[in-house]
Amino acid sequence: MFFLKKLIYYFYEKKLNKEVSDKKAPSHVGIILDGNRRYAERKGFTNVSQGHRQGADKIDEVILWCLELKIKIVTIWGFSTDNFNRREGEVNSLFNIIKSKLELYIDSDFIDKNKIKVSIIGKKDLLPDDLKDVIKRLEEKTNSYSNLYLYIALGYGGRQEICDALGKFIADNFYNISSAIKEDENYKNEIYPQTLSCGRLSNLITIDNISKYLYATDVPDPELIIRTSGEVRLSGFLLWQSAYSEYYFCDAYWPEFRKIDFLRAIRSYQFRQIRQGK
């Protein structure tokens, strides 16, 4: 029975692979890696960190599938701002797993051979110093690579990203506008520049201008976002960027995510009518 099941799986995967290969794949895929803890609990592991470790191992496998389909950009959500609210022991364990994974990437033949540029997005200032050091070394090591762009969201929250982008935008533009007003011949008192500068500043708040201040700039929006574990929500993942994304929700927990699950997600995207609000 096991052999028969494996044989059916083999031919079904080949069929799916041919179907998706004949059509255009998305250039940017976002993935919410959900279900590591529930997977560990279902398996009866004594520590949920075992689920997170297996989830970390799954990442390379999925990146390889993306390379096969010539998907150019992959953004994965590794640690959210909400995850800081978990028990201290689990948070520390997560950071250790993430750090170990990124350290492996620094001297990884897989990363070097496939020319994968790795970038971390999120509130990096909230991360432990030793993890920030590993991030810096990895980003410097892979900076010149361009075959596939891998963005790993750590300490990331979609609302926080928008707040940070708006804050940086105001900081960069308010002073320049205020200085210009003070040189205006109609400048008379302290209230006038504050009021007028806010008016001018609001006129500069556009989608294009705010987009320049997101964690990852000049990156096309994801065309497809995949979430594992059966949860049907985004939980704040790429809120700004996902306005016109297609979504695919998969029941499999992240460590059990199979190639046929991935190919089904791509096929689902390919059969949809991509309108982008038109």
Q: Report the alpha-carbon distance of residue 43 to residue 46 in Å, rounded.
A: 9
- The pLDDT of residue 186 is 52
- The pLDDT of residue 204 is 80
Query: What CA–CA distances, in Å, run from 120 to 217, 227, 242?
Result: 12, 19, 18
Q: Residue 55: which pLDDT band, with cuts at 50, 70 and 90? A: very high
Q: Report the alpha-carbon distance of residue 138 to residue 8 in Å, rounded.
A: 40
Angle at 69 between CA 67 and CA 72, to 5 degrees: 60
- The pLDDT of residue 9 is 84
Q: Report the alpha-carbon distance of residue 155 to residue 228 in Å, rounded.
A: 19
Residue 276 has pLDDT above 60, yes or no: no
Q: Which residues are catalytic?
A: 34, 83
Q: Where are the domains of the chain?
A: 24-158+217-271
CATH topology of domain 24-158+217-271: Undecaprenyl pyrophosphate synthetase (3.40.1180)
- The pLDDT of residue 70 is 97
Quote the percentage of the chain above a pLDDT of 70.
Answer: 88
- The pLDDT of residue 68 is 97
- The pLDDT of residue 3 is 73
Contact residues for 26 (Cβ-Cβ < 8 A; gap 6+): 71, 222, 223, 224, 246, 266, 269
